[in-house]
């Protein structure tokens, strides 16, 4: 009799907190699997069944939680956009912002590989497109203009192009690891490279601060 009661207790339905934790873990496994699949094959080449297999779940759960492949991509991009928004906090220096992107891509190279696939396919991020004339600037450009006004960055630099150049530096660990190793004589995915790159980024930005001309050239107008 005791064993029957024990068996019934062991078969009891999980409480709401347990179900919520299980659902969160399942969602995260699916997102991790989707990131790996997008990194390996790009959005166009990714298959929901492969994502489900990687995550060890039924493919129907992907539709249930995310609505399909597009929903998974949007969820991953939303997480990245939140990181990007947090990175550009006013209290964080531009040098630290750039170093944070280098570290983020190094820690999660699959994310950058996903971006590289979409760039090669000329697939635009969800919710983004070439802006209409007179449209508001990208928030990170506006942030860099604020930094210029505060003297953190030289006023004769165009913040739009400066951001493109530093994005390239942040992506280098994944896009040109062989060149990093050839030129810097250190592994691109090593802690040593990250430390040295962070130091050099900070030195470079320090040299860029306050040494240019007026701010009128910054807008490229």
For the chain, how many residues are written? 221
- Is the pLDDT assigned to residue 212 strictly greater than 90? no
Give the C-alpha distances (Å, rounded to integers) separating 80 from 75, 86, 179, 208.
9, 10, 26, 28
- pLDDT tier at 214, thresholds 50, 70, 90: very low
Alpha-carbon distance 129 to 19, whole Å? Answer: 39
> Which residues have a Cβ under 8 Å from the Cβ of 200 and sit 6 or more positions away?
none
Other C-beta atoms lying within 10 Å of the C-beta of residue 186:
16
Question: Which domains, and CATH codes, for the chain?
Answer: 16-83 (1.10.10.60), 88-125+136-221 (1.10.357.10)
Which candidate, 139, 157, 156, 131, places its Cα nearest to that of 97? 139
* Residues 6 or more apart whose Cβ sits within 8 Å of residue 164: none
Higher pLDDT, residue 125 or 171 = 171
* Average pLDDT value for the chain: 82
- pLDDT of residue 174 exceeding 80, the answer is yes
């Amino acid at each position: 009799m005791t064993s029957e009661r024990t068996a019934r207790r062991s078969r009891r339905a999980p409480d709401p907190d347990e179900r919520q934790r299980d659902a969160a873990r399942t969602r995260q496994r699916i997102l991790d699997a989707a990131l790996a699949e997008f990194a390996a094959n790009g959005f166009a080449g990714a298959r929901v069944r492969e994502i489900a297999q990687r995550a060890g779940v039924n493919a129907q759960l992907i539709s249930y939680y995310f609505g399909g492949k597009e929903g998974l991509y949007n969820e991953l991009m939303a997480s990245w956009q939140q990181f990007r928004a947090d990175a550009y906090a006013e209290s964080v220096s531009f040098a630290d912002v750039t170093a944070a992107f280098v570290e983020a891509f190094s820690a999660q190279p699959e994310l950058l590989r996903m971006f590289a696939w979409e760039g090669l396919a000329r697939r635009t991020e969800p919710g983004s497109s070439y802006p209409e004339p007179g449209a508001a600037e990208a928030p990170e450009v506006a942030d860099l203009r604020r930094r210029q006004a505060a003297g953190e960055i030289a006023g004769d630099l165009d913040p739009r192009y400066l951001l493109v150049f530093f994005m390239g530096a942040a992506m280098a660990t994944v896009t040109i690891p062989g060149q990093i190793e050839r030129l810097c004589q250190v592994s691109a995915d090593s802690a040593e490279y990250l430390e040295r790159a962070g130091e050099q980024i900070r030195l470079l930005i320090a040299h860029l601060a306050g040494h240019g001309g007026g701010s009128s050239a910054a807008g490229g107008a």
